Amino acid sequence: MRLYIDSADVKQIAYLNEYYPIAGVTTNPSIIVKENRPYIELIEDIREVIGEEKELFVQAIGDTAEEMMEEAKFITHQLSGNVMVKIPVTEEGIKAIKLLTANNIPTCATTIYTASQAFLAALAGAKYVAPYVNRIDNLTGNGVKVVSEIARIFTTNQLPTKILAASFKNVQQVHDVCLAGAYAITVGTDLIEKFITFPSTSTDVSVFKEQWQKVYGSDKTTLFNS
């Protein structure tokens, strides 16, 4: 299981990258425009924060496969390090994934709502597929079930494509897709911090500290000065 940050907020990315086991960062056009900055400068700053080895996902916005191909070449030329190009699973997008795979440019098939979309993207050569869990739920579907179906199809057909589940509104959805067979998850900055938030944890830590200091002294705040 791998954890990605779904954001283009450089400060938040830097903070989470310092404290959490982050595998990389995913962006999309909506996330990037929220920052209201020149996008090349922005994604270069993200690269600097996370380093060269971690994956950075950037989405193409062209309408045709050829436009997406040129965008992918431009992005991979502009950015150093481990770059993944996100391609929507339109008909032109599937063609683009085939072309990019033939040119050894790794892709993530995005905007996935059905297992059949993921299956076609995998056959076209996508390294990742990104099913939109909460958006599927909002359309009266079952996002976790779709992830489970994709995982079963990939396993049955021995496809190497990985599931990068996206679009979450709560920790429970994340928990469920991990059990359903997702290889990775990409999550907003606010939700990542909720993974370890539980009232009893803070309470227990305070009690442990209080008991320790009653025996060894109130100034004894660490093991090495006790």
Separation CA 86–CA 184 (nearest Å):
15
Q: And the tokens for 102? A: 């033939």
Q: CB–CB of 159/183 below 8 Å? A: no
Which tokens is 170 given? Answer: 């709560």
Rounded distance between C-alpha atoms, residue 127 and residue 105, angstroms: 10
Interacting residues of 39 by C-beta distance below 8 A, sequence separation 6+: 32
Cβ-based neighbours of 28, under 8 Å, separated by 6 or more: 59, 86, 110
Q: How far apart are the first and last CA of the chain?
A: 39
Q: Is residue 86 flagged as an active site residue?
A: yes
Q: Which of 11, 34, 73, 86 is catalytic?
A: 86
Catalytic center residues:
86
